[in-house]
Structures are given as C-alpha cells and as structure tokens.
Amino acid sequence: MKIAVAKGDGIGEEIMQAVLRIFNAAKVPLEYVPVEMGKYIYDRGHSTGMTAEAKNTIELLGILFKGPMETPKGKGVKSINVTARKVWNTYANKRNFKSLTGVESVFSKAGIPINITIIRENIEDTYGGIEHKLTPDVALCRRFVTRPGSLQVHRYAFETARRKGAHKVTCGHKANIMKMTDGIFLETFYETAKDFPDISANDVIVDDLAMKLVVKPNEFDILVLPNLQGDIISDLCAGLVGGLGFAPSANIGDNISIFEAVHGTAPDIAGKNIANPTALLMSGIMMLRHIGLNESAAKIENALLCTLEQGIHTSDFGKAGTTSLNTTEYADAIINNIGNLPHEAAPTMAVAQDKLTHKPPVKPAGNIMKESRTQKEEILGVDFFIESNEQPRQVARKFLDVISSDFELLLISNRGTQVWPTGSIFTECIDQYQVRVLSRDDKPVSQEDILREAVKTAGHFKICSLEMLMNYDGVKSFSLAQGQ
C-alpha cells in the first residue's frame, strides 16, 4: 500500500526521517510517496501551501502522514494544517495521552496512570476563521456548530470507545452559555449515545472539566469536545503525560485521514538533530492501526516502550543528570529494540496480524451534501447589527421613527447586554448595537419584509450585518440578551 508523506517545515525533515527509518527497520509493508506541502511551498509561490500534484496524490491514496508545517506570518494566508483538515473533511481529531514509563510527569511520580483519548471536532467552531471587522473597533468571528458535523464526531467517539474497550464517553461543552451552538453539540451527543447502550455517557462543562482533569485525570477515558475547547483541553492533557513530545494525533475522515504530531515546527531547535521524534512516531503507530497494520504497530510500540524503560531520551525529557541522545541516536535505540518486549509497561499485543483494511477513496460525482432536515420555519423578525456611538435611547428613537407598524422594537443590546428599554447606566457601550425588531404578535413575515426594514434603517445607520430571527417547528431559535 502507498501512503502520502509530507516532511513539513522546521524539525519536520529530521523527525520524519527518524520515524521512516524505524518503520523500514520494522519492515512495515508500506510505500511512501513524498508530497510537497508547507511553508517552503508557499515561498515558491503556491498560495495554498501545497502543489497540485500533492493534492492529487493525497486524494488518490487517502492517507497523509505529515510533519509539522509553518503558517507564514502576515495577512492573507490560511494555515495549511487547518486547511488540509477542513478541505478533506477529517471531522474527528483523535489525540491519545498515555503515561509512559521513562517519561516523568507529576502524575507518574504520584503513581497515577493516565490513559485519556480526546476526540476533538475538527472542522467547525471558530476554527472556520470566518472573521470580519464590523467597525474599526469591533471584530466578529462566526462560530458554526452543525448537527451533521456534531453527529459525525460523536459517532466516531463512541466507536472509538468500543474499540478501546472503554466504558464511558464524556462530552465537554459550554452549553450553559452558548445554548444554540454548544446546545447542538450536547443534544446530538446524547442522541448518538442511544445507539451505544453498552457505553455510559455523561457531560461536563469545559471549565469544570479542566479542573477535574488536573485533580483526577485517571477518572477520564474518552472525551469529546468542540474544536477550540478540544484544542485547549488536549494541550492540558499533553502536560499531564509529559509534554508535547508525547502527544500524537490522527485527523480522521470517511475518505482521507491525516496523521501528525500535535507539536509544531520547533524553529528554535530545527536543523540541530536534537528534536524528539516520539510524538510523530506515536502518530505513525495510530496510522498503522487505522489501516489495519496492527502487528507492525505493536512491534514498533513495544520497541518504543522498551527504549523509554531503558531511560533513553532526547534532551527535552528524561532524568536529570543522564546523557541525552540526538534524534538519529534515539531512533537507532528504538530500532535496536525491535523484537523486544517492555518489562514494566504491559507489552502491546497485536489484536490480529497485519491485514490492510484501508480502501483508497472513491471520487464522488459532486460534493457530498450532509443531512438537511425539513422543519416548519417562519421568520419572526431581524437583529440588525448597526454602527453608532449615540446613546441607546437615541438609537431607539430613530428606530421607532422608521420601522413600519407591522414590526415592534423589542430591545437594543451592546456586546450582548440589554441597554434598552431597560438596562444599567453603568453598562459601558462600544460603537456597535444589536437592535432586535420583531413582527407584531409573532406574525410570520417574509425576507422581502425584512429587507424593506433594512433599507429604511440604512437611511440612518451603517448596517454591519443582520440575522433573521427564526422559528423552527414553533421553537424560537435565537438567544436572549443578557438582562432581557
């Protein structure tokens, strides 16, 4: 089987070389097709950070094993790492955090073993990076959370629990505050849990989760989180098991999957042959299991565990006062341990012989359209986001003068806090208001009715954006203002 390999930038080349040498020494039955992606490709004038050949190869083979890649600083360039995950719909980002003998952490010293898997939603949330400056003082980032996207990631989390033999999946969220977005994430979590009665499901608010992970990390097994919260919580978990050098990750999609370390290009140590290749090696082991090469994965994992038990380490970890090896020597030590089993850690057993299960993607005729539900929908009004540095009552006065009699001015808020008709004189305001205009007696209106109101409003204010106020199956689907 062929897979695509991108060495990446910074330490990428050194650690990828080390990992592929270990794979070859373990006789992993794979052929590596190099693809060109990363900062050095941007620098050659490819605005997407990858060549057309690289894109074709990855779409043909379906598996990309990649080193870290640098996003050029400055405006107008998106991260190649995030783009790759989104373009190929790798909806679940799986990150394993496990205590390893030879890798010291506060918890290993206390004899508390950790074995946490985080499944992070990988496409949506603020990571869409859809941002606008609405006024010179106000920036807005749109946060999409969708039902199909959430269902996909939750299903993968429960399936992972089954494969891992885990008994519990915990959903982290902030649905108490973000009732619509995180609300969808939480609702679809329990909906999915019904299909997995053998696995218990619970949820924790993400700030409480952060505290619990630091106090009692051994109580968690599989965690599923929205994109940004999952990103932050997974770095916290990396800290629990010894740092980013031991944090592997897999970006799983139905057609294309990407395997990479959590860490970046480490520009401070690039080119010195001292980087730790363990996280990339562990990502490679996840990849081998994903495509069915369980025996190869177990052989390499055992060699790694033996090496760590022997106290062998690169300069970023290990016992103080012991000599550290460079990247090449560290890889050699792992190669020398191929065929050996660890003594302290339980050896990893192959659940089956190597048997490739990966099927290259079949090109669909068009973009796949995910579930779209038909619900009775009505427009009840509109939120205008307008620029103004006038007092709330002056803004209200102008709206009351212009809106037609079919509508009423319900409220005005500033940064989500109601300032009209009631509010506190101590609420500080910036130059942007949300003005909610509702149809009288909840009578449904048309898009054209809303646009007519918008035209009248535009005579008095700059409209930065507007959102329709929707009723789906009789449920009002918009948030209240703070203090409403």
Contact residues for ligand NAI, defined by CB under 6 A: 11, 68-71, 81, 244-245, 260, 263-269, 275-276, 279, 316
Q: How many residues does the chain have?
A: 484
Supply the minimum distance, in Å, between the C-beta of residue 11 and ligand NAI.
6
Query: Residue 246 is encoded by which pair of tokens?
Result: 């031991």
Q: Is 74 helix (H, G, I), strand (E, B) or coil?
A: coil
Q: Which of 283, 329, 299, 344 is nearest to 103 (CA)?
A: 344
Q: Which is nearer to ligand NAI, 64 or 306 (CB)?
A: 64
What is the rounded distance in angstroms from the CA atom of residue 87 to the CA atom of residue 80?
10
Distance CA(431)–CA(414), nearest Å, equals 8
Residues paired with 37 in a beta bridge: 50
Question: Can you tell me which residue has the tokens 């807005």?
Answer: 140
CA separation for the pair 162, 224 (Å, rounded): 14
Residue sitting closest to ligand NAI (CB):
264
CA 418 from centroid of its chain's CA atoms: 33
Tokens 């630091």 -> residue: 214
Residue 364: asked if its preceding bond is cis (omega within 30°), the reply is no
For ligand NAI, which is the closer residue by CB, 267 or 271?
267
Residue 279: CB minimum distance to ligand NAI, A: 6
Per-residue buried b or exposed e for 313-332, using 16+ beta carbons within 10 Å of the residue's own CB: bbbbbbeeeeebbbbeebbb
Question: What residue ranges in 161-256 does DSSP mark as E strands?
Answer: 168-173, 200-205, 222-225, 248-252
Contact assessment for residue 2 and residue 33, using Cβ atoms and an 8 Å cutoff: yes
Task: Return the number of the residue (78 or 164) whose C-beta is nearest ligand NAI.
Answer: 78
Query: Distance between CA 276 and CA 25 in Å, rounded?
Result: 19
- What whole-number distance in Å separates Cα of residue 419 and Cα of residue 426? 10
